[in-house]
Amino acid sequence: MSTISDDPLYRDPSLAQFYDTANRWGPDFDFCMRLAEGANSALDLGCGTGELTAALAATRNVTGVDPAAAMLDIARTRPAGDKVEWVEGDARTVRLGKKYDLIVLTGHAFQVFLTEEDQRSTLATIAAHLSPTGRFVFDTRNPGFRGERDVRHGRVRQLEHAELGAIEASDKSHYDEATGILSYENGYRVLSPGEHFAGRSKILYTPRDKLARMISDAGLTVDAWYGDWEGNPFHAQSREIIPVGRLA
């Protein structure tokens, strides 16, 4: 079992400070907020800096789990952050002794688990915490969408950090066809005074048919497969694989 929290992209505060700037609220969060309507409780596995988690907590009981203390330190400072139960833990092994009406695992966090064993363990965690009428949702990039792996090479973006000002965010990657693992480096350069920060990580691409078998083996069933966060049905060339389901 790999140690996710050892990855500097998750544990290093100098890198965690750029997460919100590079990953702003998007259609995935809107989708999850709609899915949460009527839910009295929610579990955010891999909550990161907690933007979605805190928003969910406005009207329901919410727990946010992440292995990275640096991310959770940011999450606790959010508006409504005091309403969330923040847990430093691993989605593969955490057991909270509670059931939830909604479980979310967004931001492609499912892909940081690089083995089938680890993915199955994460799905078992979802099954262990779902209420009898609860639903789950997570996202993983579709290996059938070739463009997703190509666009990451040498991409550079100009962003504005709330405290550091203008920054330049870049990423480089290499995809191994044999293993389905993409290795990448995220870099951030603060334009003034020119400081540079970088961290490396790996993610796994899993085909939908294999994912479907693992979900079923975990005692879960999928009600709908989406190909993006706009709610379009999954097809072979979809960018995303997004299952929404419940206990079988």
What is the pLDDT at residue 101? 98
Q: Tell me the CATH number at 41.
A: 3.40.50.150
122 with 50, same domain: the answer is yes
Domain with 110, as residue range(s), is 4-143+206-247
pLDDT of 5: 44
Span 11-30, mean pLDDT?
A: 65
Instruction: Give me the number of domains the chain comprises.
Output: 2
Residues 135, 168 within the same domain: no
Q: Are residues 112 and 189 both part of a single domain?
A: no
Residues 71 and 96 in one domain: yes
The answer to whether residues 79 and 179 belong to one domain is no
**Do 63 and 137 fall into the same domain?**
yes
Of 222, 220, 218, 215, the C-alpha closest to 243 is 222
Question: What are the distances in angstroms from CA 206 to CA 9, 103, 137, 142, 242?
Answer: 22, 20, 16, 7, 12
Rg of the chain over all Cα atoms, to the nearest angstrom: 17
This prediction has a pTM of 0.85
pLDDT, tens digit, for every residue of 72-103? Answer: 998 999 889 999 999 999 999 999 999 999 99
